[in-house]
Amino acid sequence: MNYVVRFADYIDEAFQTPWALPNKPDAPFVKILRRLMTDEDAQVALVLTPVEMTVEEIAAKSGKKPEDLVPILEKLVNNGVIFDVITPEKHTFKLVPIAPGILEFQMNGRTLDKEMVDLLEEYYYDLAEGQYPNLPVGTMRIVPVAESIEADSKSCSYEELMTFINATDDYAIAPCLCRTMKRAMGEGCGHMLETCMLFGTYADYYVRTGRGRRVSKEELLEIVKKVEEEGLVHHVFSFDKGFSEYVCNCCGCCCLTTRGVTQQNLGNGGGTTKTNYCAEVDPEKCVACGACADKCIWQAVKLGNGLTDESQVPAPEPDTETPYDTEWLRDRWSPDYRVRNLVLESGTSPCKAACPAHISVQGYIKLASEGKYNQALKLIKKDNPFPAVCGRICPHNCESQCTRGKVDQPVAIDPIKRFIADQELKSGVRYIPEIKECPETVGSKVAVIGAGPSGLSCAFYLAIQGYKVTVYEKEKMLGGMLTMGIPEFRLDRDTINAEIEVLEKLGVKFITGVEIGKYKTIAQLRAEGFKAFYFAIGAQNSRKLGLEGENLPGVIAGIEFLRDLNLGKKKSLNGPVVVIGGGNVAIDVARTAVRAGATSVNLFSLESREEMPAWEDELAEAVEEGVVLNPSWGPKAIIQKDGKITGIEMKKCTAVFDKDGKFSPTFDDKTTQKVEAATILVAIGQSIDWGGLTSNTACKLTKGNTMQVHDLSLQTDEPDIFAGGDAVTGPQLAIDAIAAGKQAATSIHRFVRGDSLTIGREAKFVSIDKEKVDVAGYDRLPRQHTGKAQPTARAHSFEDLTATFTEAQVLKETQRCLGCGQAIVDPNKCMGCGICTVHCEFDAMHMKRVRDVAAPATAMDYIQDSVKYRAERAARVEAKKAKK
């Protein structure tokens, strides 16, 4: 006789399990039991009942001697097939009901091989397909976050987590089986692992069998805080009305029960995990910061349009297909359930969508309008650790896309950001983010190669996670192109150093003057215990003209010219200067040449005036300071005499790009001009010098000499090496590099923990269609402007003479924000966990009691409810089929 199959049936009979599946010899659950027990073990287990029994009682029923039973019972206990309770008076054993969540008894503390993981996943799929749609609302019940329930909204004891915590003084914590499984499959989601909370006898059992560790009540409450910060939801079984011996803290991407809401599309009409609450948004307070959408595991909250009603989620149509009255097999499931889209198709605020780092612009503008500058700074630093820097040099794509521009002029976003950051700099008290250590990775060492904006950004976010970060920089000065490639009249050194100082206070270690790959190799760093690496060396070299004579002393790379000045190697210029290039670096070089003493500065670019890639305001200021723009000209020959340059010959550029939009300049060689020059500064692009950094690694370079990485994770072909910033994209903006640094920090954190680098990270930001916005009723408040020094004064100073907004100007300018974005809740998908309210810093998310479903008092009550619901649902499904 197959006693293991018989035992599986016996458990279902003993507990009258409403989700029971057929227990055939080849059924996944039976195969799992086969890994945990023999037929002899099953014969003994068949004697047990849900009521506790002593060894002597089991011996009497089984006919075996107590001394022969003890090793079998201990094995079954350690394998999680049965449960034991030890008190000073006696040691008893009882059956364990097989249910979602109880599987952790079998698997926690075990090494999950591929066969076991596959069996668990197959069992879950069978269970989800055959039984989950048949379970009534509240099967695996969520306990809402206590702070999410309004004081005037009466909650029941079974809706409060402290009810379960206060019922005992014995606690343990254990790893989540579901996330352990997915991690073993290479599909870990990045959420923290040690989250299962055990109380009373379960805590004792978990500790004794090595499944978990004992914690104090204070430690448990700290874990509760951490899981809520991470967006995990508290789960108990529905019939645990007065007390639960365990609470799961679940995500929607791995956890067996909660992912049923998203994977099996059970949110609409099913919702076995729903509470009595539903989230609501206060549109007057919401600023579309995205914190709620980012943490909602059900994807019930998304960012939408705050100006119209078009993005409001409609109620389901009467004929909407739901598990309530429809047969719900796997063809109804969502294969892409782990792809997270935070924005509705109708789009959200353009400023957030346009920003490479997707900073919550609308949010910090709102806080600034209320004078809450410190809170505004904290909000910015969630996505950008260098607001003072970006407030001075950012190209403000957010402004160019601002909906306010359709009314009159865009909101002055960058000056507002600069004002916010400067308030902190002037106060002398720096905001140091809280370090949120992850037990799995705390103290792990990561090396960042390159101290530019991307490397520093990566170091910042890793340090917050508790990593020991060391940044290696081959130059003597930190900041990369921020300090060496941008003139001080645009970005002063004190501002950069002040923001880097925060990283030092977070524990980041800086080693300058060391070139990794030359003085020390990646292999040596691995031997020192570094777990991962981020290559962010930037594009630090200048491209060549390819002309005879460009190696003469008077021909200087623009980047080298700026670097020498910024490193204190004074380079005064005499006589006329020619600058070659049409981008922002070329403009910086030209404006710096004016300040360095050039008698005249002529800038030549291949592009026409309209095509020049440099920012318009930078071009305008350059002209004001005396730079002469010469668009549509390219270098033909360097003119020299006796080994010294005397000028340059230029030829007319007729087109920069071919018909397919590719860079392929064409010239009219007959139309030329000769220009006198004592110095030629070349700023036609930058290149990357990898040195020996990639030696003996599997890293691959593209044809353009940039690092080849995965688009989302930034991982190279060497698994522990990641790369980003200009080293991957070629020369880009500081904000692009900063965004890449944060992205890499997320990937490295996942890599060190052993999770998937991509699952659940897809973020597609869509802007609202501004053409559909009716601006007729909006005010016409004029845009505020920062004061500028006279061009003559600017041209003779290396100081930043741009004025910062006054507080009065900030107040006026913040009032011009239209509030384009808003969080939108789909009440059909909201499970009422309350996590969104915890993460909303604007008091815009609230929980409303929308139903009053009581938790069954006992397991038997729950079973009877389930049997009744199953019958009623079957009748509805058949009736619908007949109607069709």
Please indicate, yes or no, if residue 877 is contained in any of the structural domains: no
Least confident of 287-291, 499-503, 705-709, 880-884: 880-884
Q: Smallest Cα–Cα separation from 390: which of 725, 735, 742?
A: 735
Q: What is the pLDDT of residue 294?
A: 92
Rounded to the nearest integer, the mean pLDDT of the chain is 89
Length of the chain: 884
**Residue, of 38 and 15, whose pLDDT is higher:** 38
Report the candidate in 559, 802, 783 with the shortest Cα–Cα distance to residue 682: 559
Residue 872 falls within a domain, yes or no? no
Write down which residue in 55, 78, 98 finishes a domain: 98
Residues 627 and 698 in one domain: no
pLDDT digits (tens, 9 = 90+) for 140-190: 678 888 777 775 566 666 678 888 898 899 999 999 888 988 888 889 998
d(CA 28, CA 12): 15
CATH code (residue 376) = 1.10.1060.10
DSSP code at position 614: S
Is 247 a domain residue?
Answer: yes
Q: Token pair for residue 749?
A: 């954190």
pLDDT digits (tens, 9 = 90+) for 744-781: 999 999 999 999 999 988 778 999 988 888 877 788 89
Phi, psi for 649 (deg, rounded to 5): -100, 130
pLDDT in tens, 81-119: 898 999 888 999 999 877 655 666 677 767 778 888 888
pLDDT of residue 104: 67
What Rg do the C-alpha atoms of the chain give, in angstroms?
Answer: 33
pLDDT at residue 855 greater than cutoff 80:
no
Helix extents (H) in 135-274? 161-165, 177-184, 200-208, 217-230, 259-263
Is the same domain home to 708 and 672? no
Q: Where are the alpha helices (DSSP H) in 442-492?
A: 453-464, 481-484
Nearest to 481, CA basis, from 799, 737, 744:
737
Same-domain check for residues 409 and 472 = no
Q: Clarify whether residues 410 and 518 are in a common domain.
A: no
pLDDT, average across residues 256-274: 73
Q: Residue 90 is part of a domain; what is its CATH number?
A: 1.10.10.10
Are residues 422 and 520 part of one domain? Answer: no
Total structural domains within the chain: 5
CB 270 within 8 A of CB 877: no
Is residue 576 within 8 Å of residue 356, measured between CB atoms? Answer: no
Same domain for 387 and 283: no
pLDDT reading at 834 higher than 80: yes
Q: Is residue 127 part of a domain?
A: no
Mean pLDDT on 305-329: 72
In a domain? residue 780: yes
Q: What are 61-87's pLDDT values in tens digits? A: 999 999 999 999 999 998 888 989 998
In a domain, 474, yes or no: yes
**Which of 246-255, 720-729, 736-745 has the weakest average pLDDT?**
246-255
The model's pLDDT over 368-407, given as tens digits with 9 standing for 90+, comes to 999 999 999 999 999 999 999 999 999 888 999 999 998 8
CA dist 113 → 81, 776, 811 (Å): 18, 64, 60
Q: Kindly state whether residues 618 and 517 are assigned to the same domain.
A: no
Q: In this structure, are 715 and 664 located in the same domain? A: no
* 138-142, 617-621, 736-740: range with highest mean pLDDT: 736-740
- By the 8 A CB rule, do 570 and 619 touch? no
Please indicate, yes or no, whether residues 88 and 208 belong to a single structural domain of this protein: no
Rounded Cα distance between 298 and 562, Å, is 51
Q: For residue 656, what pLDDT is reported?
A: 93
Q: Which of 37, 71, 98 is the last residue of a domain?
A: 98
Q: Are residues 547 and 510 in the same domain?
A: no
Domain containing 516 equals 445-540+692-753
Q: Specify if 761 maps to a domain.
A: no
For residues 486 and 686, give the distance between their C-alpha atoms in angstroms, rounded to a whole number.
Answer: 14
Q: Where does a domain end: 657, 687, 717?
A: 687
CATH number of the domain at 593, please: 3.50.50.60
Per-residue model confidence (pLDDT) at position 588? 95
Cα–Cα distance, 351 to 397 (Å, whole number): 8
**Same domain membership, residue 229 and residue 277:** yes
Whether 705 is covered by a domain: the verdict is: yes
Is residue 499 domain-shared with residue 530, that is, in the same domain?
A: yes
d(CA 550, CA 556): 8
Q: Six-digit token pair at 684?
A: 């036609």
